[in-house]
Chains A and B, each alone.
Chain A
Amino acid sequence: MTTAALLPLAAETPKINEAATAFMLVAASMVLLMTPGLALFYGGMTRAKSVLNMIMMSFGAMGVVGVIYILWGYSMSFGNLQDGSSDVGGVFANPFHLFGLSGLFGQDGTRLVDPFGVGVFIPETIYVGFQLTFAVITVALISGAIADRVKFGTWMVFAGIWVTLVYFPLAHMVWGGGLLSGAANGLSAKLFGATDGVANVLPIDFAGGTVVHINAGMAGLVLALLVGKRFGFGTQAMRPQNVPIVMLGAGLLWFGWFGFNAGSELAADGLASTVWLNTTAATCAAMLGWLVVERFRDGHATSVGAASGVVAGLVAITPACGALSPVGSLVLGVVAGALAALAVGLKYRLGYDDSLDVVGVHLVAGLWGTIGAGLLATSTGLFYGGGVKQLAIQTIIALVSVLISGVGTTVIGLALKATLGWRVSRDVESDGIDAAVHGETAYDISGVSGGRFGSGGAVPTTAHGAKTPEGATA
């Protein structure tokens, strides 16, 4: 998704591009699969008593964000894409303009859209679907920062408010022709000038380094600070409960990410193919980068490190995948893996409990990928003789994203802290949030836990019965 050049509908009837449409149907489905993949990636890293809650934070995001996206999310992010109607200060489009996707369906079925103005028309409905999956996973990503300790209801409310007030505006600013895009009213055009309504220096965020990863990473940092540490953080061993599940999750993320990155080209063409290769190049190199740091710092190359390196590489290449060469992607990737491996240790030194390293992986690798694109872009990057303008605009869009996400999340997080409250009770947290909040436990391996069907009877119900422990309301 490079900057959308808005194209008024041509006089002649646009013709559907079937190849691109088929590709986008597959790509959107792959991106949707990333969220269950993330749920496993995160779920495997939590403690056994809270794995279901961790997974439910991702699935919950699918529910809330999916519904909201159809009602007002698309309208708020891309509502003015087709008709070029004005947005609100380049920040967001009118949420009621296409409320409930009204206007997408004419007499001839769904209308077609050509977001980049390159003559490749796909049904707008699958464009909505593709964008919906991005909103879902961005929210789900945040959950890793506040594992094991948050009321499920507060999380669900947060998901709805945050995606509306932070994600949709940022998506509009970067991809919907807003402030951080290359549009004539964008920051870049104001700083470096524009030609024919398009900025001279186009900000590069191909698939969501700013909108998805910097955004989610910063939100994770803010929430980790607001919600506070888990009891026992830094003193107790909090070992991942199931490392093979972490690896499976990382594999699903990698697979889905091809839909995420290559799909962001919105066409099955040469650039989409290069993006696929760049994505793989950076990810392989990042895994090695992480493992090398581990081997020399900790003495072992670990499985969790390999999975984390994979994700760090995928994050870093996300904004840059359409602008780099495969060799440039290797460089971007190996630095991303090494940087993130070093960054995950920060939380112990600085004392914030970003439980599953959303900051260390997504914020750090997202910042590096977005800013690194200014160094390594083959046409405009500093290392390729393109000067510093691209690097400057990349740094600006990265920092503006940090600012927007930081301020927005702080306001929403504080409001929820003062009203619904974030934390479950200490008893629930130490006994395990799964049984208390969801009425389930993840594993019954021994099969000797006893009990019987139903909640009534002479024997008083205990932990696994219907009675919810005090303070467990979510």
Chain B
Amino acid sequence: MKLVTAIIKPHQLDAVKEALEAYGISGMTVSEASGYGRQRGHSEVYRGAEYTVDFVPKVRLEVLVDDIDASSVVDVILKTAQTGRIGDGKIWTVPVEDVVRVRTGEHGAEAL
């Protein structure tokens, strides 16, 4: 199994969620995140005082998938979240040793 984690622009979340559902992914975890990459932050002005805000709002999307689905899921997210402009985010995949469904105690692929 693999854990696919994507950091995307918040307003791309709905489109990505729908595309993943259409692909057949039945669950995901989403959390608010903030950070920066090459784009760095942005500036805000309050009463003439300019502040550089380094960490910009992002959404962290996590999906647990079977090994064979991993690269397709990454593709689905990539195609939907990509705007081509700076700040689109990152996607990475890591191996997962085990997954347990809390309600039933099922392990592994059964628990996805």
Q: How near does chain A come to B47, taking the closest CB pair, in angstroms?
A: 5
Interface string of A275-313 (1 = CB under 8 A from B): 000000000000000000010011110101100100000
| Beta-carbon contacts under 8 Å, B25-79 to A | 44-53
- Which chain A residues lie closer than 8 Å to B46 at the CB level? 45, 239-240, 302, 304
Max chain A Cβ within 10 angstroms of own Cβ: one of B45, B47, B51, B52 = B47
- Which chain A residues lie closer than 8 Å to B52 at the CB level? 237
| Number of residues on chain A facing chain B (CB within 8 A) | 20
- Which chain A residues lie closer than 8 Å to B45 at the CB level? 294, 298-300, 302
Does A384 make an interface contact (CB < 8 A)?
A: no
Contact call B44/A239, Cβ cutoff below 8 A: yes
Contact call B53/A297, Cβ cutoff below 8 A: no
| Chain B, residue nearest A344 (CB) | B47
| Chain B, residue nearest A243 (CB) | B46
Contact call B44/A357, Cβ cutoff below 8 A: no
- Which chain A residues lie closer than 8 Å to B48 at the CB level? 294, 297-298, 341, 344-345
CA distance A300 to B53 in the complex (A): 16
CA distance A304 to B49 in the complex (A): 11
Interface residues on B, range: 10 to 19
Does A348 make an interface contact (CB < 8 A)?
A: yes
CA distance A227 to B53 in the complex (A): 28
| Chain B, residue nearest A303 (CB) | B46
| Beta-carbon contacts under 8 Å, B83-107 to A | none
| Chain A, residue nearest B47 (CB) | A344
CA distance A265 to B36 in the complex (A): 57
CA distance A345 to B49 in the complex (A): 7
Interface string of A212-242 (1 = CB under 8 A from B): 0000000000000000000000000111100
- Which chain A residues lie closer than 8 Å to B50 at the CB level? 298
- Which chain A residues lie closer than 8 Å to B51 at the CB level? 237-239
| Beta-carbon contacts under 8 Å, A138-193 to B | none
- Which chain B residues lie closer than 8 Å to A240 at the CB level? 46
- Which chain B residues lie closer than 8 Å to A360 at the CB level? 47
Q: How near does chain A come to B33, taking the closest CB pair, in angstroms?
A: 14
Q: How near does chain B come to A301, taking the closest CB pair, in angstroms?
A: 10
Contact call B49/A348, Cβ cutoff below 8 A: yes
- Which chain B residues lie closer than 8 Å to A344 at the CB level? 47-48
| Chain A, residue nearest B52 (CB) | A237
Q: How near does chain A come to B88, taking the closest CB pair, in angstroms?
A: 25
| Chain A, residue nearest B48 (CB) | A345
Contact call B47/A239, Cβ cutoff below 8 A: no
Which residue from A237, A299, A305 sits with its C-beta under 8 Å from B47? Answer: A305
| Chain A, residue nearest B41 (CB) | A237
- Which chain B residues lie closer than 8 Å to A305 at the CB level? 47
Contact call A304/B47, Cβ cutoff below 8 A: yes
- Which chain B residues lie closer than 8 Å to A348 at the CB level? 49
- Which chain A residues lie closer than 8 Å to B49 at the CB level? 345, 348
Interface string of A14-48 (1 = CB under 8 A from B): 00000000000000000000000000000001000
| Chain A, residue nearest B54 (CB) | A237
- Which chain A residues lie closer than 8 Å to B44 at the CB level? 239
CA distance A345 to B50 in the complex (A): 11
CA distance A24 to B53 in the complex (A): 47
- Which chain B residues lie closer than 8 Å to A300 at the CB level? 45
| Chain B, residue nearest A446 (CB) | B32
CA distance A105 to B56 in the complex (A): 63
| Chain B, residue nearest A246 (CB) | B46
Contact call B53/A357, Cβ cutoff below 8 A: no
CA distance A299 to B45 in the complex (A): 9
| Chain B, residue nearest A308 (CB) | B47
CA distance A237 to B52 in the complex (A): 7
16 contacts between A and B (CB under 8 A): A45-B46, A237-B52, A239-B51, A239-B53, A294-B45, A298-B45, A300-B45, A302-B45, A304-B46, A304-B47, A305-B47, A308-B47, A341-B47, A344-B47, A345-B47, A348-B49
Q: Kindly list 4 other residue pairs between chains A and B, CB separation below 8 angstroms, not including A294-B45, A298-B48, A308-B47.
A: A239-B51, A299-B45, A304-B46, A304-B47
Leading 6 A-B pairs by shortest Cβ distance: A237-B51, A298-B45, A344-B47, A345-B48, A304-B46, A300-B45
